[in-house]
Amino acid sequence: MKSSRIFATAWEGLTLNKVRSFLTTLGVIIGVASVIIMLAISAGTEAAIASQINALGANLIIVSPMRGVPGASRTLLLEDAFALEVAVAGVDGVSAEQAPAAQTVKAAGVTLDAIDVIGTTADFPDVRDYAVGEGRYFTADENDRNAKVAVLGAGLALDLFGAESPIGQTVSIGSVKATVVGVMAAKGMVADVDYDGRIYLPINIVLDRLMPSTSLGGDRVRTIYVKAENQDRIDSVITQITAILAERHDVDPAKPDFSVQTQQDIIATQEATTAAFRDLLAWVAGVSLIVGGIGIMNIMLVSVTERTREIGLRQALGARPADVLLQFLIEAVILSLVGGLVGVALGVGGAYLLGEFGTMQTEIVPASIPLAFGAAAVVGIFFGYYPATRAAALDPIDALRRD
Amino acid sequence: MDHNLLIDVRGLLKVYGEAESEVRALDGLDAGVARGEFVAIMGPSGSGKSTLMNILGCLDRPTGGAYILDGRDVSGLSKNELAEVRNQKIGFVFQSFNLLPRLTALRNVTLPLLYNSAEELTDAEAEARARAALESVGLGQRLQHRPNQLSGGQQQRVAIARALVNRPPLLLADEPTGNLDSRASVEIMDLIHALHRQGVTIVMVTHEPDIAAHAERVICVKDGRVLATSAAGESPCLERALQGVELA
Ligand SMILES: Nc1ncnc2c1ncn2[C@@H]1O[C@H](COP(=O)(O)OP(=O)(O)O)[C@@H](O)[C@H]1O
Ligand SMILES: [Mg+2]
Higher-pLDDT residue of A368 and A391 is: A391
pLDDT in tens, A2-22: 777 788 888 888 887 888 888
Contact flag B117-A314 (C-beta cutoff 8 Å): no
Taking the centre of ligand 1 as the mean of its atom positions, its distance from the CA of residue B154, in whole angstroms, is 28
The answer to whether residue B168 neighbours chain A at the CB level (below 8 Å) is no
pLDDT beyond 60 at B248: no
What is the reported pLDDT for B125? 94
**Does the pLDDT of residue A291 top 90, yes or no?**
no
Q: Measure the CA–CA gap between A156 and A173, rounded to whole angstroms.
A: 13
Spatial separation of the C-alpha atoms in residues A205 and A174, rounded to whole Å = 12
Q: How far is the CA of B175 from the centre of ligand 2 (A)?
A: 7
> What residues flank ligand 1, with Cβ below 6 Å?
B 16-17, 23, 25, 43, 45-51
Alpha helices in A16-100 (DSSP H): 18-54, 78-87
CA distance A397 to chain B (A): 5
Give chain B positions within 8 Å (CB) of A315.
59, 83, 86
Q: Does A394 touch chain B (CB under 8 A)?
A: no
- Among A309-323, B5-19, B50-64, B225-239, which stretch is predicted with the lowest mean pLDDT? B225-239
- Which residue, B145, B142, B107, B112, is CA-closest to B127? B107
The pLDDT value recorded for residue A208 is: 79
pLDDT band at B53 (very low <50, low <70, confident <90, very high): very high
Q: Which atom of ligand 1 is nearest to the CA of B51?
A: 17
Mutate to test the interface with A, among B51, B52, B59, B171 (most CBs of A within 10 A): B59
| Ligand 1 geometric centre to CA of B51 (Å) | 6
**DSSP letters for A186-230:** P--EETTEEGGG-EEEEHHHIIIII-HHHHTT--B-SEEEEEESS
Give B165-220 pLDDT, tens digit per residue: 999 999 999 999 999 999 999 999 999 999 999 999 999 998 888 888 889 999 99
Residue B113 has pLDDT above 60, yes or no: yes
Residue-range domain boundaries for chain B: 5-242
> For the segment A212-251, what is each residue's pLDDT rounded down to a tens digit?
765 445 677 888 888 888 878 888 888 888 888 888 887 8
pLDDT score recorded for residue A186? 83
Ligand 1, atom 27: closest residue by C-alpha = B46
Question: In whole numbers, what is the pLDDT of chain A averaged over residues?
Answer: 83
Cα(A120)–Cα(A214) distance, rounded to whole angstroms? 16
Give the pLDDT confidence score for residue A253 in this predicted structure.
77
Specify the pLDDT at position A231.
77
Note whether A124 and A137 are within 8 A (CB): yes
Residue A68 confidence (pLDDT):
62
Instruction: Express each pLDDT in A241-290 by its tens digit.
Output: 888 888 888 788 777 878 888 877 777 777 777 778 778 877 887 888 88
pLDDT at res. B241: 54
* Cα B159 from Cα B162, distance rounded (Å): 5
Tell me the three-class secondary structure of chain B, residue by residue.
Answer: CCCCEEEEEEEEEEEECCHHHCEEEEEEEEEEEECCCEEEEECCCCCCHHHHHHHHCCCCCCCEEEEEECCEECCCCCHHHHHHHHHHHEEEECCCCCCCCCCCHHHHHHHHHHCCCCCCCCHHHHHHHHHHHHHHCCCCCCCCCCHHHCCHHHHHHHHHHHHHCCCCCEEEEECCCCCCCHHHHHHHHHHHHHHHHCCCEEEEECCCHHHHCCCCEEEEEECCEEEEEEECCCCHHHHHHHCCCCCC
Q: Is the pLDDT of residue B245 over 80?
A: no
- A338/A346 Cα distance (integer angstroms): 12
Highest mean pLDDT among A101-105, A201-205, A357-361, B162-166: B162-166
Q: Which of A145, A102, A96 is nearest to A121 (CA)?
A: A96
How many C-beta atoms lie closer than 10 Å to residue A187's C-beta?
Answer: 20
Classify domain B5-242 at the CATH topology level.
Rossmann fold (3.40.50)
Q: What DSSP designation does A138 have?
A: P
Our CA angle for A320, A16, A8, nearest 5°, is: 45
> Do the beta carbons of residue A22 and residue A343 sit within 8 Å?
no
Q: Judge whether A83 and A244 are in contact, CB under 8 Å.
A: yes
Q: Chain A: residue nearest B118 by CA?
A: A1
Pocket test for ligand 1, best of B12, B16, B204 (most atoms within 8 A of CB): B16
pLDDT at B247: 46
> Cβ of B114 under 8 Å from any chain A Cβ?
yes
Q: Nearest chain B Cα to A1, which residue? A: B115
Interface check for B50 against chain A (CB to CB < 8 A): the answer is no
pLDDT tens digits for B17-49? 888 889 999 999 999 999 999 999 999 899 999
Average pLDDT in chain B: 90
Rounded CA gap, A375 and A6, in Å?
23
The predicted pLDDT at position B236 comes to 61
In this model, does residue B16 exceed pLDDT 90?
Answer: yes
Ligand 1 atom nearest to CA at B221:
22
Average pLDDT, stretch B126-133?
95
- The pLDDT of residue B204 is 96
pLDDT for position B239: 59
In this predicted model, what pLDDT tens digit does every residue of A44-68 receive, in sequence order? 887 887 777 777 667 888 888 876 6
Does A19 reach chain B within 8 Å, measured CB to CB?
A: no
pLDDT of residue A320: 94
Answer yes or no: pTM beyond 0.90: no
Q: Which of A75, A52, A76 is nearest to A203 (CA)?
A: A76
Share of chain B above pLDDT 70, in %: 92
Residue B5 pLDDT level (bands cut at 50, 70, 90): very high
- What is the share, in percent, of chain B residues with pLDDT greater than 90? 77
What's residue B128's pLDDT? 96
- From the list B80, B107, B115, the residue facing A317 with the nearest CB is B115
